[in-house]
């Protein structure tokens, strides 16, 4: 009989495996893909954002699930940084409080982590895809054919429903639902929005929009975003995507550092012989991409005070969020009511769950990864106590 089984070799699964091995359990990780932590590696291509260095209460405000608090109190930003250093990965804090390894990339970080797990005796089987239950066993499709394992304890860390090509395909939902596990419907999180652009916007595809503020409901966020052929995406948009996804109107303040009255005064003389674009550039120092957005969503451009108000609150006309598989993360998953305080499934004693499988939501900026690590550690430590 297998002792401790981990299904899914992302950050939550690897952290649970580390906790189980530290407690003396014999651990086997089964991963569907040819190599572990593919989403982790993809997310770290432009810089692996491990966590956010800020006061804990501020940190917690970014989660929609206060039940994560005890887990994040045990393994929050300070602990993530210490853990990274323990892997030989020195970290630094950027100007926005985001924490990165000095090497920036995810691959050297992952290699160091896997070496430590291997030294602890953790086994890793790749191309072992979970295929549901076989009686009281876990069935896998493997290169050697169908295999069924009967572990003493199991931790599921299979991810959510975004980025299926990297392993998070939510194939597990019907198997757990059939066992009586409550699953909250998935919704895209940290996601871009579709826009049916006019032809004149094509020359701006790939351009970042800087210096604007995004407004959704009562939320105001400063952050860069990108105009793409498919719509708007990037960190600034992701920071308000939850509110917009749930029905709030999205607006842009193109000049958040200037007051309405200041803008009115600068526009008072009118364009004269200038084109509208040249006038806006000279009077307000608007760059071409922000002028293009104003012309796209403000046509026909009003005059005077109405134009100033439009610059301060430009409605973003979009066609809803991009498909869930393109989202950075998801809301939804295993409902809190389906779990004990130890993240054990009420319907399946001896089976625990961690990471994006669980129903919680947070923005990018280190919050997602920290909670995956924290829930993995929590589930792993609890699972280690099962006899």
Question: In the structure, what pLDDT confidence band is assigned to residue 268 with cuts at 50, 70 and 90?
Answer: confident
Question: Could you tell me the pLDDT band of residue 206, with boundaries at 50, 70 and 90?
Answer: very high
Across the range 106-121, mean pLDDT stands at 96
The CATH architecture one would assign to domain 4-187+329-384 is: 3-Layer(bba) Sandwich (3.50)
Q: What is the mean pLDDT of residues 205-220?
A: 94
Task: Say if residue 43's pLDDT is above 90.
Answer: no
Residue 133 has pLDDT above 90, yes or no: yes
Sketch the domain layout of the chain as residue ranges. 4-187+329-384, 193-315
* pLDDT value of residue 253: 97
Q: Is the pLDDT of residue 184 over 90?
A: yes
Residues 150-172: what's their mean pLDDT? 95
Residue carrying the six token digits 């040249």: 278
Contact 2, 151 (CB under 8 A): yes
Tell me: pLDDT of 1 over 80: no
**Per-residue pLDDT averaged across 130-157, rounded?**
97
Given a cut of 90, whether residue 50 has pLDDT beyond it is yes
Which residue pairs, CB below 8 angstroms and at least 24 apart, start in 305-310?
A: 305/264, 307/267, 308/260, 308/263, 308/264, 308/267, 309/260
Average pLDDT, the chain: 95
Residue 299 pLDDT > 90: no
Structure pTM? 0.93
What value does the mean pLDDT take over residues 294-306? Answer: 90
Residues 6+ apart with CB under 8 A from 142: 125, 127, 128, 129
Predicted confidence at residue 192, as pLDDT, reads 97
Percent of the chain having pLDDT more than 90? 89
Kindly tell me if the per-residue pLDDT of 2 is higher than 90: no
Residue 301 DSSP symbol: P
- Indicate the Cα dihedral angle 19, 106, 46, 251, nearest 10°: -10
């Amino acid at each position: 009989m297998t002792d401790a089984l981990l299904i899914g070799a992302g950050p939550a699964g690897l952290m649970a495996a580390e906790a189980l091995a530290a407690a003396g359990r014999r651990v086997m990780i089964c991963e569907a893909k040819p190599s572990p932590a593919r989403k982790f590696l993809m997310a770290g291509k432009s810089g692996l954002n491990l966590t956010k260095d800020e006061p804990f209460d501020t940190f917690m405000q970014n989660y929609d699930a206060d039940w994560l608090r005890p887990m994040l109190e045990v393994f929050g930003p300070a602990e993530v940084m210490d853990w990274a250093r323990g892997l030989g990965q020195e970290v630094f804090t950027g100007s926005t409080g985001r924490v990165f390894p000095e090497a920036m990339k995810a691959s050297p970080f992952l290699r160091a982590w896997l070496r430590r797990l291997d030294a602890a005796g953790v086994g890793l089987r790749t191309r072992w895809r979970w295929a549901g239950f076989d009686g009281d066993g876990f069935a896998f499709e493997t290169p050697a054919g169908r295999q069924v394992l009967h572990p003493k304890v199991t931790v599921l860390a299979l991810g959510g429903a975004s980025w299926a090509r990297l392993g998070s395909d939510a194939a597990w939902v019907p198997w757990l639902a059939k066992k009586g596990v409550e699953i909250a419907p998935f919704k895209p999180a940290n996601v871009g929005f579709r826009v049916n652009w006019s032809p004149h916007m094509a020359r701006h595809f790939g351009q970042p929009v800087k210096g604007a503020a995004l407004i959704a409901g009562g939320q105001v966020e400063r952050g860069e975003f990108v105009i793409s052929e498919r719509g708007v995406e990037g960190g600034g948009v992701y920071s308000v995507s939850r509110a917009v996804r749930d029905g709030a109107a999205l607006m842009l303040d193109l000049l958040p550092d200037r007051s309405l009255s200041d803008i009115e005064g600068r526009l008072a003389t009118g364009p004269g012989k200038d084109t509208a674009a040249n006038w806006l550039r000279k009077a307000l120092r608007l760059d071409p991409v922000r002028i293009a957005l104003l012309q796209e969503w403000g046509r026909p451009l009003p005059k005077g005070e109405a134009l100033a108000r439009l610059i301060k609150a430009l409605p973003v006309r979009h066609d809803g969020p991009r498909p869930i598989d393109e989202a950075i993360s998801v809301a939804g998953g295993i409902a809190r009511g389906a779990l004990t305080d130890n993240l054990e499934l009420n319907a399946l004693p001896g089976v625990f769950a961690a990471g994006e499988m669980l129903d919680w939501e947070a923005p990018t900026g280190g919050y997602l990864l920290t909670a995956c690590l924290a829930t993995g550690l929590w589930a792993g430590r609890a699972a280690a106590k099962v006899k």
